[in-house]
Amino acid sequence: MMQEPLLLEDRSGAFINMNALESAHNPSLFFGVGLCSSTQPAIAIPFDILSFFFMAEKLRRILNLDTIFILLADTHALSNSFMTREMVTIQTKHMQTTFTAIIRNLHLTHFKILSSSQFHEEATFQKIVFSIPHMENEYVRQEIADMRWFFKCKNVRIKLGWAIDIRETSHGHDERFFDRHIASKTSIPLTFIHMKAGRTFDPKRPKASPYIAVKGESRLMLKDNENVIQKFQQAKETSSMDVINGVRSHAGLIIRLFEELFIRIPLPTLEEKIQFVINLTTKI
């Protein structure tokens, strides 16, 4: 299972704490989805988000996990001054609609969507927040509180995230940045598994968040009117073949995992297979 090519082969994601899993009754998995980057709001959901759904389902089957929790980080987004409540409400509703369609269309019966606003006012969560000292980065503090709450109240033992590359740095806001703080500030037995970053057609920024697409990004999107063949054709006019092939390679891994988990797609080209999966997962 750990040979899965969509996983980043770093030390933090290479081994699952089986003792922690075996000591927990019906252990679960968690992944969170942000509504913005550190500097701007998301404007769409990338195709790459499906890597999280598919990898989580594969882990669930292999490890006999109970529930896959998807956290929509709506209250976290409000810690950024450029995010308004109206923006957060609109984006949260769009994500809930999209993710609900994915879950329904792929019959992912063990998946559950939660918005952070659904439990952040609960006494169990507030008690955890008050136990964490003030931090300069409020977003990080909320991430730590979330993981403690999911561990205590939802029996989560695995956090699925993403990272830019194998080399770990002290800066940059992929999920390894947050996971490093979570691991240092808590003693709970969590396993952190990191997916590879999403891909764009931008030669200056070929790797990006798998679940946030920002203004000006050219990449495959998870929406019902996405034209995959046209998107690749347009990329040839603005990007290099190395970058385009990077998108193709990453999308191909996502399609391969879809076919491993669900059905073989009876279409000849990768572009057609991507279009098939987009059409299937976004069907309302």
Domain boundaries along the sequence of the chain: 11-282
Share above pLDDT 90 across residues of the chain, in percent, rounded to a whole number: 72
pLDDT, one tens digit per residue, over 131-168 is: 988 888 777 888 889 999 999 999 999 999 998 876 65
Pairing mode, strands 68-72 and 207-208: unpaired
d(CA 230, CA 113) in angstroms, rounded, equals 32
d(CA 119, CA 58) in angstroms, rounded, equals 27
- How many residues comprise the chain? 284
Q: State mean pLDDT over 252-273.
A: 98
pLDDT, one tens digit per residue, over 80-106 is: 889 999 999 999 999 999 999 999 999
Q: Which pLDDT score is estimated for 15? A: 61
Q: State mean pLDDT over 9-29.
A: 72
d(CA 152, CA 93) in angstroms, rounded, equals 27
Cα angle 274-282-279, degrees, rounded to a multiple of 5: 40
Q: What is the CATH number of domain 11-282?
A: 3.40.50.620
Pairing mode, strands 198-199 and 207-208: antiparallel
Helix (H, G, I), strand (E, B) or coil at 53: helix
Model confidence band, residue 181 (pLDDT cutoffs 50, 70, 90) = confident
Q: Which pLDDT score is estimated for 187? A: 74
Amino acid at 191: T
d(CA 241, CA 114) in angstroms, rounded, equals 39
Selected residue with higher pLDDT from 22 and 256:
256
